[in-house]
Structure 1
Amino acid sequence: MHTVAVLALEQVIPFDLSTPLEVFSRVRLPDGRRPYQVRVCAPTPQIPAAGFTITAPWGLERLVDADTVIVPGRAEGAPPPGERVLDALRRAAAGGTRIASICVGAFDLAETGLLDGLAATTHWIAATELARCFPAVEVRPDVLYVDNGQLLTSAGAAAGLDLCLHMIRRDFGSAVAADAARLAVTPLEREGGQAQFIVHPQPPVPRGSALEPALAWMEEHLSEDLTLDVLAHSSGMSSRTFSRRFREQTGTTPLQWLLRARVRRAQFLLESTDHTIDRIADQAGFGSPTAFRERFKRVAGTSPQNYRATFRSSA
């Protein structure tokens, strides 16, 4: 039997904790056997969570003999995991245990040093902070999960479910994983490389910068045909000077900045209106529906139609 140990730490996110408990405990093989034994392990028998207390029957010493350890995310402001926890995770890894994190659980896993030199992901909101805190980790903010073999990380809570199903498929094949997905009422098809459907905020410019009015002007004229010469002229600079200052202060080019701003505009329209794809392509300044579909997918990781189906507001 495959043992899955779910690590419970102070201020653990309840959904991140319950997802692996629920998914792995309900898996059945074709002959009806349960292939997983699931246990909750913690530094102390009682762990405070958001509004309730978790009772953990097993201590940290049981991580080392588990086949898989799950590190859930924890609420913002949670205390650091502590050396006892980090040492327990390192010992488990040294013994060959597979370790997977859900959402911001990647921070606790990265704290061990086990992710150094490896690719990893986390919720897109926290990806920049993860990269800042752990520069030796190759943070990939645009995927649902990353499988390095022994060490795995996932994005938000729903991506944690995708990762659990991925590990079940690795362990016992697609048929068993598909059955687990049906029990969880979720599709099995979402692969790890699928984007998180997020276009990240543009890099900020220093307050009072000469670029501030230029960026505001660009936002107001997204639907127009904006070439580099037009952008530079609107700022009273030459194209070369404008490009240089823009890259110095934003870390990207004017046209790349413009593309992401247009995609964000399109996302808003896809979520909040019933406008046709052709109309949104024009409103966001893409010129043609074909260019809109190609560029939107390049930045957002999915087609405009799929994005609308996922995020369309009921209003």
Structure 2
Amino acid sequence: MLQKVAVIALDDVAMFELGVVCELFGYERDGLPKYEYSLCTPGGAPVRTHAGFTIVPDHDLAPVDDADLVVVVPYNSHEAPPDEVLQALRRANERGSWVMSVCTGAFALGYAGLLDDKRCTTHWLHTEELAERFPAAKVDADVLYVQDENILTSAGTAASVDAGLHLIRQEHGSAVANTLARRMVVPPHREGGQAQFIETPMPVVECDTLQPVLARVLETLDDPHTVDTMAEMAHMAPRTFARKFRSETGATPHDWLTGQRLLLARRLLEDSDLGVDTIASRAGFGSAATLRHHFAHRMRTTPQAYRGTFRSQPV
């Protein structure tokens, strides 16, 4: 049973995520589980925040050694923490405690070796760097949070709420997690597999020989483009075109075309009053069912839910 929670804060700690972890585990609410909550730093030293002030903790790293849950909150340097932090994380993992990172706190877990051969995530801005620094980790750039055995990693900012509620749901059941979510005035449950909504503008196409073709396709996404029709524009055989396309863009023609159509559909869902059928047609998907299929596969949500989240004004 989850009783003792130790949170490790490092220099340049991010305040929002630290506040979320405190709200989840360090704030006593009538009728809900109470935790022995400790904010810890190496040597119990004050740590700077990214907001320009300093936090003075109550503890050094000693509470980490008997905690049921150890959380590393984000820090901005992404460099290796002090060795005493890495050793404490390894001991927690070895005794089977939960080890959780929020946003860039995943880098500390990586330096401790806890992400080797584990599925994990962090904020989408930093997933490539995480994968480069820790090639043995299985970094998933899309998801809100990932649990692999006793290791729980979450994406940035609000995803820390979802990861924490996921853990509480496992430890105490859905009724407790849902009650806590209502107290915090947040959605009671978002699946970890839901996509991070990565900010991706409509692209500027830059490649050696295919740029005119790609630019033309982007201007006419509602046309029934295929590999054959795009190859014809480039005056190439389809197989030659496909090889050249991958060498210049890093993607297959089909994957690239689907991605550009989804980008246009997302923009129209956010910025227009058009119905889903019309958006599907304008983006080249042909039908709302096809658009929903690709949204579910790549965005892990529905067009209607995406619009509800990101529409600036009511439709």
Q: TM-score, normalised by structure 1?
A: 0.91
Offset of 1:314 from its aligned partner? Answer: 3.2
Closer/same/farther in 2, CA of residues 301 and 198 from structure 1, 3 Å limit = farther
> In the alignment, which residue of structure 2 is the partner of 1:239?
238
Count residues in correspondence.
Answer: 311
Offset of 1:211 from its aligned partner? Answer: 2.7
Asked whether the 8 Å contact 1:28–1:176 carries over to 2, the reply is no
Which SS does the other structure have where 1:100 is aligned? Answer: strand
Asked whether the 8 Å contact 1:203–1:251 carries over to 2, the reply is no
How big is the alpha-carbon RMSD for the aligned residues of Structure 1 and Structure 2?
2.3
Q: Which amino acid aligns with 2:234?
A: S
Q: Structure 1, residues 206-227: CA drift from partner, whole Å, max 9, x if none?
A: x652133332222222121101
Q: Which amino acid aligns with 1:243?
A: A
> In the alignment, which residue of structure 2 is the partner of 1:251?
250
1:152 aligns with 2:152: yes
Offset of 1:100 from its aligned partner? Answer: 0.3
Q: Structure 1, residues 84-118: CA drift from partner, whole Å, max 9, x if none?
A: 22122112222332110111211121111111011
Counterparts of 1:220 and 1:125, CA distance in 2: 28
Counterparts of 1:263 and 1:33, CA distance in 2: 43
1:302 aligns with 2:296: no
Closer/same/farther in 2, CA of residues 231 and 33 from structure 1, 3 Å limit = closer
Counterparts of 2:278 and 2:202, CA distance in 1: 24
Q: Structure 1, residues 249-289: CA drift from partner, whole Å, max 9, x if none?
A: 33321011000111011111111111111221122111122
Asked whether the 8 Å contact 2:117–2:137 carries over to 1, the reply is yes
> In the alignment, which residue of structure 1 is the partner of 2:284?
285
Q: Structure 1, residues 20-66: CA drift from partner, whole Å, max 9, x if none?
A: 1111133657xx36431211000142101121101111112321111
Offset of 1:197 from its aligned partner? Answer: 3.6
* Structure 1 residues 22-33: aligned runs within 5 Å: 22-26=23-27, 28=29, 32=31
More off after superposition, 207-216 vs 95-104:
207-216
Asked whether the 8 Å contact 1:118–1:138 carries over to 2, the reply is yes
* Structure 1 residues 23-172: aligned runs within 5 Å: 23-26=24-27, 28=29, 32=31, 34-43=33-42, 44-50=44-50, 51-75=52-76, 77=77, 79-172=79-172
Q: TM-score, normalised by structure 2?
A: 0.91
Counterparts of 1:212 and 1:128, CA distance in 2: 26
> In the alignment, which residue of structure 1 is the partner of 2:265?
266
Asked whether the 8 Å contact 1:45–1:57 carries over to 2, the reply is no
Counterparts of 2:83 and 2:223, CA distance in 1: 56
Q: Percent identity?
A: 45
Offset of 1:82 from its aligned partner? Answer: 2.6
Offset of 1:301 from its aligned partner? Answer: 1.0
More off after superposition, 192-201 vs 43-52:
192-201
> In the alignment, which residue of structure 1 is the partner of 2:222?
223
Closer/same/farther in 2, CA of residues 9 and 246 from structure 1, 3 Å limit = same
> In the alignment, which residue of structure 1 is the partner of 2:16?
15
Closer/same/farther in 2, CA of residues 4 and 202 from structure 1, 3 Å limit = farther
Q: Structure 1, residues 161-200: CA drift from partner, whole Å, max 9, x if none?
A: 0111111111111111111111111122212222224486
Which SS does the other structure have where 1:222 is aligned? Answer: coil
Which SS does the other structure have where 2:5 is aligned? Answer: strand
Counterparts of 2:4 and 2:171, CA distance in 1: 12
Counterparts of 1:41 and 1:199, CA distance in 2: 34
Q: Which runs of 5 or more residues in structure 2 are unaligned?
A: none
Counterparts of 1:180 and 1:191, CA distance in 2: 17
Which SS does the other structure have where 2:267 is aligned? Answer: helix
Asked whether the 8 Å contact 2:202–2:264 carries over to 1, the reply is no
